[in-house]
Amino acid sequence: MSELLGVAVLGAGHMGADHVRRIGSTVGGARVVAIADPDTTRAEAAVAGHAGVSVHRSAVAAVDAPGVGAVLVASPEAAHEEAVLAAVARGLPVLCEKPLAPDSAAALRVVEAEARLGRRLIQVGFMRRYDSEYAALKTLLDSGRLGRPLLLHCRHRNVSSPPHFTSSMLISSSVSHEIDAARWLLGQEVTAVTVVRPIPSAHAPQGLLDPQLVLFETSGGVVVDVEIFVNSGVGYEVRCEAVCERGGAGLGAAHSLLVRSAGRAEEELPQDYLMRFADAYDREVRAWVAAAREGRATGPSAWDGYAATAVAEAGVEALRTGTRVTVEMAERPALYG
């Protein structure tokens, strides 16, 4: 197939603009033909230098623009359900940045719409599955070489949080990546969540419960702990260590340049997720484009998006109540096997 896949990008913020750049300069086989954002000035800036891109305020208008063969959703989460359902209704493959929807009920409606269609069109943007270190850890765990996993230790730190960040968003926005990573690495569902709240950092905005320690229990008996600290003031750090019956393996400890000079050793840490996972995003979008050109979807599914949202909701409830909360999930449709 020689013709380029026409992509509508919905959302022209930090993530959407980066995807426009990625499709235009890094990922082959596609080009941006439409972009939507309520701030059309921002949308026009995102596609500056890209010829033939139509600019829209409405996501649905962009989906319906001439030449669109696939949709990339990078808008705020409240707009995801409408955009994804519009793409599915038109038979268009869609890559939706996480979360799939703002709550599990909305995510389940998306799952049910795709299940009624009878074929997968939706990929959810859990890019860690495309990171080389995560992929290597997944291969190792699946091989059985280390025996059964018993524990998974995760660390997720940011330099600082955006002004709008709330205590619950540490789980629903940030820890959602660890939710998907744990489900994927272990091949198990998360069945219960507990949140432990240490004293907040003096560097956290007033009222923000930061850091938090989030504990997951899985269907296979594994315990997962996640340290989430979004105002560390140091760098963007993501680490994961699996402890198994016959050993362990971890990732993220050496993902930066170590400089030794004048009797000192200094490690330069990435400052945001786009730096740390740049290669993973490239691999993710490249795989999505390849599948979309064939009219299908691979990678994290709508069911994975729903599951992550359901676990995050349980986590937010655990944070609110200080209790262990079980995860309630719908029956998995046959489409997701």
**32 within a domain of the structure (yes/no):** yes
Q: What pLDDT is stored for residue 275 in this prediction?
A: 77
Tell me which DSSP letter residue 324 carries: -
Instruction: Check whether residue 36 and residue 57 sit in a common domain.
Output: yes
Tokens 């940011």 belong to: 158
- Residues contacting residue 264 through CB under 8 Å, at least 6 positions apart: none
**Domain tally, the chain:** 2
Q: Which of 275, 297, 230 is nearest to 18 (CA)?
A: 275
Instruction: Check whether residue 224 and residue 285 sit in a common domain.
Output: no
Instruction: Check whether residue 180 and residue 67 sit in a common domain.
Output: no
**324 within a domain of the structure (yes/no):** no
How many Å apart are CA 77 and CA 87, to the nearest integer? 16
Q: Which of 167, 142, 212, 223 is nearest to 190 (CA)?
A: 223
Q: Are 123 and 297 in contact (CB under 8 A)?
A: yes
How many Å apart are CA 190 and CA 249, to the nearest integer? 21
Burial label, 219 (beta-carbon count in 10 A; 0-12, 13-18, 19+): middle
Instruction: Check whether residue 265 and residue 286 sit in a common domain.
Output: no
Instruction: Check whether residue 188 and residue 251 sit in a common domain.
Output: yes
**Model confidence pLDDT, tens digit, residues 24-40:** 999 999 999 999 999 99
Instruction: Check whether residue 12 and residue 84 sit in a common domain.
Output: yes
**227 within a domain of the structure (yes/no):** yes
Q: Are 42 and 19 in contact (CB under 8 A)?
A: no
Structural tokens at position 254: 């050496």
Burial label, 113 (beta-carbon count in 10 A; 0-12, 13-18, 19+): middle
**111 within a domain of the structure (yes/no):** yes
- Residues contacting residue 202 through CB under 8 Å, at least 6 positions apart: none
**320 within a domain of the structure (yes/no):** no
Q: Are 75 and 10 in contact (CB under 8 A)?
A: yes
**Model confidence pLDDT, tens digit, residues 216-240:** 999 999 999 999 999 999 888 999 9
Instruction: Check whether residue 208 and residue 232 sit in a common domain.
Output: yes
* Cβ neighbour number for residue 330 with a 10 Å cutoff: 15
CA 6 from chain centre, in angstroms, equals 23
Positions in the chain whose pLDDT score sits under 70 = 1-2, 253-261, 265-270, 272, 274
Instruction: Check whether residue 167 and residue 257 sit in a common domain.
Output: yes
**327 within a domain of the structure (yes/no):** no
User: What CATH number is given to the structural domain containing 64?
Assistant: 3.40.50.720
Give the 3-state secondary structure of 116-160: HHCCCCEEEECHHHHCHHHHHHHHHHHHCCCCCEEEEEEEEECCC
* Cβ neighbour number for residue 216 with a 10 Å cutoff: 28
Q: What pLDDT is stored for residue 140 in this prediction?
A: 96
**310 within a domain of the structure (yes/no):** no
Instruction: Check whether residue 37 and residue 93 sit in a common domain.
Output: yes
Burial of 156-170, coded b for 16+ CB within 10 Å and e otherwise, reads: bbbbbbeeebebbbb
- Domain containing 106 equals 5-128+279-300
Q: Are 153 and 243 in contact (CB under 8 A)?
A: yes
Q: What pLDDT is stored for residue 113 in this prediction?
A: 98
Instruction: Check whether residue 168 and residue 287 sit in a common domain.
Output: no
Distances (CA, A) of 332 to 19, 108, 154, 301: 31, 10, 27, 12
Question: Element (H or E) spanning 18, and its range?
Answer: helix 14-25
Indicate the average pLDDT of the chain: 94
Which residues are paired to 123 by β-bridges? 95
Tell me which DSSP letter residue 269 carries: P
**Model confidence pLDDT, tens digit, residues 281-298:** 999 999 999 999 999 999
User: What CATH number is given to the structural domain containing 199?
Assistant: 3.30.360.10
**255 within a domain of the structure (yes/no):** yes
Which residues are paired to 251 by β-bridges? 240
Instruction: Check whether residue 244 and residue 283 sit in a common domain.
Output: no
Instruction: Check whether residue 180 and residue 228 sit in a common domain.
Output: yes
